[in-house]
Structure 1
Amino acid sequence: MCQKLIMLDQLPLGTFGKVKMLNSEGRERRRMMDLGLIQDTIVQSIRKSPAGDPTAYEIRGAVIALRSEEASKIFVESIQAEEKA
């Protein structure tokens, strides 16, 4: 199956994505991994701030906010809600 990867900041609100790749290095990469953003983790885009940036995401039961600059370095495969289980 061919998967289409999108940047996390392009994931529509209310939808789910499965982390496939981190395009960062060093401390930034370590921080993302510490937040739980590792391969095959399910992420849901929850809401945007009134100014539009950052966006809140639910990851492994926790809600975190990421700026577009950070989220654009995380590539996800968009998935249906039924697939997230």
Structure 2
Amino acid sequence: MCLSEMKVGQHGRLERVDLPEEVGDHLAHMGFLPGAGVHVLRRAPGGDPTVYRVDGIEVALRRETASHLFMIPIEKVQ
């Protein structure tokens, strides 16, 4: 599942980044590394961009970028 498909409130673990090296490196510096936990916080009124929390930092990404980040959703245990 790509990050752009996750719903607000969902959590996941980043599995793979499929972007050019320059963009991937920039995201890695913001905490988007394989194995990192990502939480979908909120979407802009038009649906783009979306704010995510990764490594304790809030980051806004456009849908186009988020569609190249592949996630493993984490189900909450109640």
> The TM-score by the shorter chain falls in which range?
over 0.9
In the superposition, the TM-score normalised over structure 1's length comes to 0.86
Structure 2 distance, partners of 1:29, 1:81, is 28
- Give the corresponding residue for 1:79: 74
1:43-82 mapped onto 2 (5 Å cutoff): 43-82=38-77
- Give the corresponding residue for 2:23: 28
What stretches of structure 1 of length at least 5 have no aligned partner? 1-5
Tell me by how many angstroms 1:26 deviates.
2.2
The one-letter code sitting in structure 1 at the alignment partner of 2:60 is A
- Runs of 4+ aligned residues of structure 1 deviating over 3 Å after TM superposition are none
Tell me by how many angstroms 1:81 deviates.
3.4
The one-letter code sitting in structure 1 at the alignment partner of 2:20 is E
Structure 2 distance, partners of 1:80, 1:26, is 30
- Give the corresponding residue for 2:5: 10
The one-letter code sitting in structure 2 at the alignment partner of 1:71 is A
CA RMSD of aligned residues (A): 0.9
In the superposition, the TM-score normalised over structure 2's length comes to 0.93
What stretches of structure 2 of length at least 5 have no aligned partner? none
The one-letter code sitting in structure 2 at the alignment partner of 1:9 is S
**Identical amino acids, percent of aligned pairs:** 27
